[in-house]
Amino acid sequence: MGMLGKVLKSAAAVKAIQVVRREAAKPENQRKAKDMITKLRQQRGRSH
């Protein structure tokens, strides 16, 4: 199943990338990501 397996894996990867991009484009998810990054930066600042 060499070549067929590779095709199926790459198709699944392309689909996953499309889903991630679609979700990342949503404003509520962008806000959540920014909040998470801010929180992580604050935690890193306290630990050093």
- pLDDT bracket for residue 1 (50, 70, 90): low
Amino acid 45: pLDDT: 85
- Does 13 score more than 70 pLDDT? yes
- pLDDT bracket for residue 48 (50, 70, 90): low
The pTM is what? 0.59
Look-up: residue for tokens 């889903």?
19
Amino acid at 21: R
Residues 6+ apart with CB under 8 A from 24: 30, 33
3-state secondary structure labels for all residues of 1-48: CHHHHHHHHHHHHHHHHHHHHHHHCCHHHHHHHHHHHHHHHHHHHHHC
Mean pLDDT of 20-37: 96
- Does 47 score more than 80 pLDDT? no
Amino acid 43: pLDDT: 93
